[in-house]
Structure 1
């Protein structure tokens, strides 16, 4: 039964806290009780019952007195007139910061629940970076809310349960708090799928009698075997929780009976040495199933969990899953970073590895938050990163890197360091050249190859799955996009100013400062960026800079801007007409996207051709060393080796075939569509000339436009 008043909680706390610290918790309770005076929960209970029972949940974890005080006060800032300064004065900065970290952003208005959820979780992450205890108070708060969700309307139950299952239960798992995570998952399942939960609960109850008898029989047999070998250990039967059964039924597509046929046991001993001795004993007693052994003691999980896992065939062919661990590991599996034995070391110079892992994880969240474009993108990245299953891969020097399942070498590179990920060009997996997108397996040794001039490829986003990799790639592409848009905007404005008889170099800072002030623009760089992205028209900006009255674009005097093919991501070449150097070209500005270059005669821009706001004249630079793709259509004879002859002619012209498709038109002829990379129209003419020499093979050849 939960505690009903502060005296009952104080008695419980006295088992591990000094009287002085218990009195501080009492004082926080009385302060909160007075602040919440007259407030009631939806159930009709006085509001103070909620913080009292949140504090009790933390007391089960043996949390320190400051965490318990923060639990008592966690809704004071949000729901009462009390401010942060008053809390600092009464209870100190540490407690006040924790309370502030847990409090929602009630003073802001959000467009939707998703944005509100994202902003609030981002605030918690920033508070966690200062004090990891913030998330433990928040998890306890969420657990009590889930326990008392029954009074809510069904749609609110489902929404809160889904948020908990998406974010808070995985966070509890990531911090190793297995006991709290399992209860959260079962409560979420019960509120999201009440009928399914009821049926599975009834099914478990119906088989519990026979199952309990079998568990006791196997448990006693294992205990007797360990006692005979003088091993100090205790065998416990493990119960499957409802959500775990439901998830296995869904993911493994198994019937309820086949999942419940597997019996689970936990063996707790007093030393790591005994763990391995027990493993040998149970393998000798029951036959182990191959490839079902995992050593999480030598290589702990990312959340600090340690144990030996093995699966055996027991009496009458019954599958038995056994976990073997020490008492400290068992406590760690239940309470994770909230484990009392860890908190004794929390302020030491040599913190427990579990705390070090938790801090590394929070540091990683901060990096993701800094690179994310907005809170919604941040929380989606966090959801991706909260994987329950890990693989363990090695660097060439033997360092173990933990990654989620299906991670590839791109994820590995970013896990080492952001700069390594940004500059990676290839990889060796187990000393063999492999693609960066190849999924990794536990035990792989990965070496990343880098180049000084290498950049992330946007296509990597289709393969990278870790939040850090995805956020870093997006951040780099955004930075690159800003740089390219500023460069393009500068050139477009320079061309527009030149068309009006001026020079952008001759314009002083005063002209730009005046324009930036009048138009309420952040800076000159932002002005160029807006022009490059198509958000501002270059000729209008040019008129304002030069104080020219006529706002229509210059016509006869206009000198087209020149393109070199190396403008970056903001200039793209239309795939409908594939312009190449030598073609007359125009540029179509798309707001927020930059510039799309078309051949002047392209049919797809007929509607825009006379729109000076969007369609601008462009010309090719004299010095271009980039290749451009062009589409050709060839009618060829159906004869053996026709494609080989075409490929040989293209190679002789020092061009490359990017793609080629062949469709049979009739018994004698086929139509070939080929995409070929060339430098310019002169190079294309040479390709066509060599293809026409194959007059016995190529009957007709033409370039494809839109």
Structure 2
């Protein structure tokens, strides 16, 4: 019956995103205005202004998003205006979408495809941008289940066939690490985590290789229980333990602890040569970092006091700027926003040593505009690493 869906959405908001009371109330009420005779005024009277505002945002964006019509892009623009206002609208919308995706089995095929393509196009990148990695992976996997069902079943079957073998390998790999961590009084959980079907498929397509040649079907995670002031040192200590045991690939070290990703993600990634000559990805982070990686935005606010103004706040500020630009039409805006969602960033240092993040494939001119619009309008050439380069 009707009530199951709002309860499930509220549960996702609470357990998987870690939202608070107001959001849970809104998740329970999110379809009311649209599906019943109850009005926004009724909700405001019963639950207050804040709840009414979030419900209003959710009602406005319930129109299904379809990328070939400008009207729908307008709808989407509304959704982002509410994002700039109150991120909880988007987070509840994501919970709503996740529950829809989990319960789509008995829907007509055309609906499944429409909802899935929308999910891949918009909601999964949005979850990624807000730092909700677990949700992003599940949304992509579920969409793939409907859009590429043969490939999905093929990879799932292959993963299942080798499951016992993989688990044994992980156990062998992890035991010596756990032992030394323990000996050095580092309180840590060490475990293997399978990669999502979608990410395995992406890798097969990107590198044009069969399933058998994808070596990283799982990653090892080391989650340390550290005090904030010791986090960095503890993570590097764990890194040193891992690389003493297993030879690292020097090209594959990623340090997102010293410079976190724009969506708040912090972690230390390395790829090492494990037993039987197999490359294994190891991710090292603390409990706090892990919560931010799993729950993204919501956890980010929780720890807000300790961290400086992060990339996430800057991103929301950017979205506000994009929205307040009256010239852009809705579809341009959508593409612009989509560009902003993809989190592949490049880092550029200004001559004074300030660090600036831009999307992948940005040009020297983008960099000039990022520093100041006057500079962008007037600059005539650029130097990268002391060499003259074209502006474009």
TM-score under structure 2 length normalisation: 0.92
Kindly provide the CA deviation profile for residues 413-458 of structure 1, in whole angstroms up to 9, marking residues without a partner as x: 2333444333332222123322112xxxxxxxxxxxxxxxxxxxxx
Q: Which has the higher helix share?
A: 2
3-state SS of 1:266 partner: strand
Larger Cα-atom Rg: 1
CA distance in structure 2 between the partners assigned to 1:344 and 1:189 by the alignment: 33
Shift of 1:408: 1.7
1:210 pairs, out of 155, 165, 182, with 165
1:322 to 2:282 alignment: yes
Equivalent residue number for residue 117 of structure 1: 72
Give the superposed CA RMSD: 2.3
CA distance in structure 1 between the partners assigned to 2:303 and 2:44 by the alignment: 25
3-state SS of 1:403 partner: strand
1:100 pairs, out of 43, 50, 56, with 56
3-state SS of 1:151 partner: coil
Kindly provide the CA deviation profile for residues 440-482 of structure 1, in whole angstroms up to 9, marking residues without a partner as x: xxxxxxxxxxxxxxxxxxxxxxxxxxxxxxxxxxxxxxxxxxx
1:200 to 2:160 alignment: no
Equivalent residue number for residue 380 of structure 1: 335
Taking a change above 3 Å as real, the CA distance of residues 285 and 109 of structure 1, as seen in their structure-2 partners, is closer
8 Å CA contact retained: 1:262, 1:321: no
Give 1:528-547 correspondences, 5 Å limit. none
Equivalent residue number for residue 230 of structure 1: 185
Shift of 1:159: 1.5
Equivalent residue number for residue 158 of structure 1: 113
8 Å CA contact retained: 2:249, 2:272: yes
Taking a change above 3 Å as real, the CA distance of residues 90 and 423 of structure 1, as seen in their structure-2 partners, is farther
Equivalent residue number for residue 219 of structure 1: 174
Shift of 1:215: 1.0
2:272 pairs, out of 305, 312, 317, with 312
3-state SS of 1:213 partner: helix
CA distance in structure 2 between the partners assigned to 1:351 and 1:262 by the alignment: 35
1:63 to 2:23 alignment: no
Taking a change above 3 Å as real, the CA distance of residues 177 and 111 of structure 1, as seen in their structure-2 partners, is closer
1:436 to 2:382 alignment: no
Give 1:608-647 correspondences, 5 Å limit. none
Give 1:209-358 correspondences, 5 Å limit. 209-260=164-215, 263-269=218-224, 270=226, 271-339=231-299, 342-344=300-302, 350=305, 352-353=307-308, 356-358=310-312
Equivalent pairs, count: 385
Taking a change above 3 Å as real, the CA distance of residues 157 and 63 of structure 1, as seen in their structure-2 partners, is same
CA distance in structure 2 between the partners assigned to 1:190 and 1:213 by the alignment: 28
CA distance in structure 2 between the partners assigned to 1:113 and 1:105 by the alignment: 17
CA distance in structure 1 between the partners assigned to 2:372 and 2:29 by the alignment: 40
Equivalent residue number for residue 172 of structure 1: 127
Taking a change above 3 Å as real, the CA distance of residues 344 and 314 of structure 1, as seen in their structure-2 partners, is closer
Kindly provide the CA deviation profile for residues 303-328 of structure 1, in whole angstroms up to 9, marking residues without a partner as x: 11011111111222111111111110
Shift of 1:263: 4.6
Shift of 1:227: 2.5
1:366 to 2:320 alignment: yes
TM-score under structure 1 length normalisation: 0.52
CA distance in structure 2 between the partners assigned to 1:280 and 1:105 by the alignment: 48
8 Å CA contact retained: 2:267, 2:284: yes
Kindly provide the CA deviation profile for residues 208-233 of structure 1, in whole angstroms up to 9, marking residues without a partner as x: 11111111110112212323333322
Equivalent residue number for residue 184 of structure 1: 139
Q: Which has the higher contact order (CA 8 A, sep 6+)?
A: 2
Shift of 1:343: 4.0
Taking a change above 3 Å as real, the CA distance of residues 258 and 225 of structure 1, as seen in their structure-2 partners, is farther
CA distance in structure 2 between the partners assigned to 1:277 and 1:75 by the alignment: 49
Runs of 4+ in 1 over 6 A off after TM superposition: 108-112
CA distance in structure 1 between the partners assigned to 2:42 and 2:374 by the alignment: 45
